[in-house]
Amino acid sequence: MPTGLYIGGQWRAAAKTMPVLDPSTGQELCAVADAGPGDGLAALTAAADAQAAWARTPARERSEILMRAHRLLIEDADRLGLIATLEMGKPLAEARGEITYAAEFFRWFAEEAVRLDGGYMPAPGGGSRFLVTRQPVGPSLLITPWNFPMAMGTRKIGPALAAGCTCVVKPAEQTPLCTLALADILERAGVPAGVVNVVTTSDPGALMTPMILDERSRKLSFTGSTAVGKKLLEQCAQTVMRTSMELGGNAPFIVFDDADLDAAVDGAMAAKMRNIGQACTAANRIYVQRTVLDDFAERLTKRMAALPLGRGTEPGVVVGPLIDTDAVAKVTDLVADARTRGAKVLLGGETLDGPGNFYPATVLVDVPDDADMCRTEIFGPVAAITGFDTEDEVVDRANDTPYGLVSYVYTESLRRGLRVCEALDTGMVGLNQGVVSNPAAPFGGVKESGLGREGGLTGIDEFLETKYIGVQL
Ligand code: NAP
C-alpha cells in the first residue's frame, strides 16, 4: 500500500508524515506523506514537463490506457473497497459499489477521448474559412473531498487524461489512501511519468496556494464545500484560471399525494442513506404532501429502524460511522436545534457512546423551514420530514436556498412531474428515482452548488479549450 508522494512517476517521502484514522475506532491505520509547498511545486513541475508529450500522445493510446485502468480497478474492487471502508467508514458493499462507479468514469472517458469533434465552415461574408479545433487546457489541479474518495478522483482524472491534460491530484487529508492506490493502478495501466501526480497534506492552503497562483497551472477542478470553493475561486481570479466547481447541496425530496409511496420510500432511503447521509446529493429536506404525510413517515421510520449500525467491515452493516467527531457534533447540534423549534423525533436522535464516530439513523417530522438543518447540509443519517399543501408552495420552499445541486420529485402525474422538474432551480432532478449519479450523465449544480459539469457528453469539455483558426483561401 503506497503511502508516499507520487511525483514524476516516482514515490517519494515528504519531510513529515500525517496519520490516517479509522472513523469507526478513532485509531490510526497508517501514516502517509504530509506534503509542503515545495513538494506541491515539484509535482506541478512534473505535470508541466509532461504536458506537451501527453497532449501529442494519440487519443487512441490515451483511451486504451484509461480502459486498462478501468479493468484494473474492477479486478481489484475487493481490496480497494476495503481501503475505502477503512479510511472513510462506509459499509463494504457500498465501498465496492463506489469502486465500480469510479471505474466507469475511466471507461466512459476512454470512449470520449477518441470522439473530440471540430469544425470547418465558410465565413458568412465569403472569402475565408473557419477551422475550429479543441486542445487540452493544460496542467490541471484536481482537489477531491473525503466522502467518495475513489470516485471523485476518477471523475476528474478520467476527463483530464482523455482530453490530453496532465494533472496534480490532492485528495482530502482524511482519505488519502484511495488516491494513492489509484496512482499505483494508473502507473500499471501505462500512464507515463509526470502525467498524474499525487500530493497528500494536512495543510491544503499552504500546499495549494502557490500551485494555484503559478501560471503553469491552467485549470482547477474542485469538489468540496461551497465555502472552500469560493476561496479558491478568488485565488483563481489572479491568473484567470479555468475552474470547475462541484460544491455543496441542500436537496429537496418532494413526495406528492399521487406518488407510488413504496417507490417514494425506497427513493428516500437511497437518497438519504447513501454514504451514511454524507453525500452532496443527500435528501436534506423531505417535503411530503399532508394527505400522505403520516403514512410516508411511518413507512420511512420502519425502514430506518431496521438498518444495522456498526463498523463498515462487519457483514450487513448499513449505518457506518461519520467521518469525524466534528461531523457527529454538527449532526447532534442540528437535531437539538430542530427539536427546540418544534420538530418531533420519530426515531433515534440520541448521541451514542464511543469509540467511533457513530450517530444513529434518525427520523424527524414537522421540521420547520427555519431550522438550521433546512439551511445547511446535514451530512448524516437524519431524515428531516415536513408537510406541504400545494405544488406552488413546495416549489417555492424547495427553491428557497442558495444551493442548487439536485432535487427529487415523486408523482405519478407526468404533467406535474415535468412541470415541477422545470421549476426547480437545480442542475439535476431525480423524477421518481433517488440516485442521479451516472458517469454518462452531466453531473453538477447551479447557484452556489457549482460551475461546470462532470461526466456525460460535456464532461470532457471542462478540460478543453476551443481554438478558432481563420483561413484565407
Ligand atoms: P472541504 O472541506 O471543502 O474539502 C474539500 C477538499 O478541499 C479537501 O481535499 C480539502 O483538504 C481541500 N481544501 C480545504 N481547504 C483548502 C484550501 N484552503 N485550499 C485548497 N484546498 C483546500 O469539503 P469536505 O468536507 O471534504 O467535503 C464535503 C463537501 O463536499 C460537502 O459540502 C459536499 O456537498 C461537497 N461535495 C460535493 C460534490 C459535488 O459533486 N457537488 C461531491 C462530493 C462532495 P483537507 O481534507 O485537507 O481539508
DSSP 143-199: E--SSSTTHHHHHHHHHHHHHT--EEEE--TT--HHHHHHHHHHHHHTPPTTTEEE-
For the chain, counts of helices (H) and of strands (E) = 13, 22
* Domains 5-247+449-472 and 251-438 agree in fold: no
Q: CA dist 343 to 253, 288, 349, 383, Å?
A: 18, 15, 11, 12
Residue ranges lining ligand 1, Cβ < 6 Å:
143-148, 152, 170, 172-174, 204-205, 208, 223-225, 228, 231-232, 246-249, 280, 377, 405, 445, 450
Contact 162/460 with Cβ under 8 angstroms? Answer: yes
State the distance from the centre of ligand 1 to the C-alpha of 449, rounded, in angstroms. Answer: 12
All three cell numbers of 429, joined, read 432532478
Rounded distance between C-alpha atoms, residue 245 and residue 235, angstroms: 13
Of 154, 226, 171, nearest in space to 405 by CA: 226
Of 192, 172, 173, nearest in space to 47 by CA: 192
Which residues, 6+ apart, have CB-to-CB distance to 289 below 8 Å? 255, 256, 257, 387, 388, 389, 394
Rounded distance between C-alpha atoms, residue 427 and residue 397, angstroms: 17
Q: CA dist 159 to 59, 74, 463, Å?
A: 12, 19, 7
All three cell numbers of 423, joined, read 421549476
Instruction: List, as one string, the DSSP characters of 197-254.
Output: EE---S-HHHHHHHHHHSTT--EEEEES-HHHHHHHHHHHHTTT-EEEEE----EEEE
Residue matched to cell numbers 417507490: 263
Question: Is the model's pTM score more than 0.95?
Answer: yes
Residue 439: CB atoms within 10 A of its CB come to 22
Residue nearest to atom 10 of ligand 1 (CA): 172
Contact 409/417 with Cβ under 8 angstroms? Answer: yes
Residue matched to cell numbers 475513489: 150
Fold of 251-438: Aldehyde Dehydrogenase; Chain A, domain 2 (3.40.309)
pLDDT at 354: 82
State the distance from the centre of ligand 1 to the C-alpha of 411, rounded, in angstroms. Answer: 34
State the distance from the centre of ligand 1 to the C-alpha of 314, rounded, in angstroms. Answer: 28
Which 8-state DSSP code applies to residue 452?
S
Residue 454: CB atoms within 10 A of its CB come to 25
State the distance from the centre of ligand 1 to the C-alpha of 8, rounded, in angstroms. Answer: 25
Q: CA torsion angle for 123, 129, 130, 133 (degrees, to 10)?
A: 160
Instruction: Give the mutation target among 217, 228, 405, 453 for probing the ligand 1 site: most ligand atoms within 8 A of CB.
Output: 228
Which 8-state DSSP code applies to residue 353?
P
**Atom of ligand 1 minimally distant from the CA of 209:** 19
Domain boundaries, the chain: 5-247+449-472, 251-438
pLDDT in tens, the chain (473 residues): 899 999 999 999 999 999 999 999 999 999 999 999 999 999 999 999 999 999 999 999 999 999 999 999 999 999 999 999 999 999 999 999 999 999 999 999 999 999 999 999 999 999 999 999 999 999 999 999 999 999 999 999 999 999 999 999 999 999 999 999 999 999 999 999 999 999 999 999 999 999 999 999 999 999 999 999 999 999 999 999 999 999 999 999 999 999 999 999 999 999 999 999 999 999 999 999 999 999 999 999 999 999 999 999 999 999 999 999 999 999 999 999 999 999 999 999 998 988 999 999 999 999 999 999 999 999 999 999 999 999 999 999 999 999 999 999 999 999 999 999 999 999 999 999 999 999 999 999 999 999 999 999 999 999 999 999 999 99
Residue nearest to atom 6 of ligand 1 (CA): 145
CATH of the structural domain 5-247+449-472, one choice from 3.40.50.720, 3.90.180.10, 3.40.605.10, 3.40.50.800: 3.40.605.10
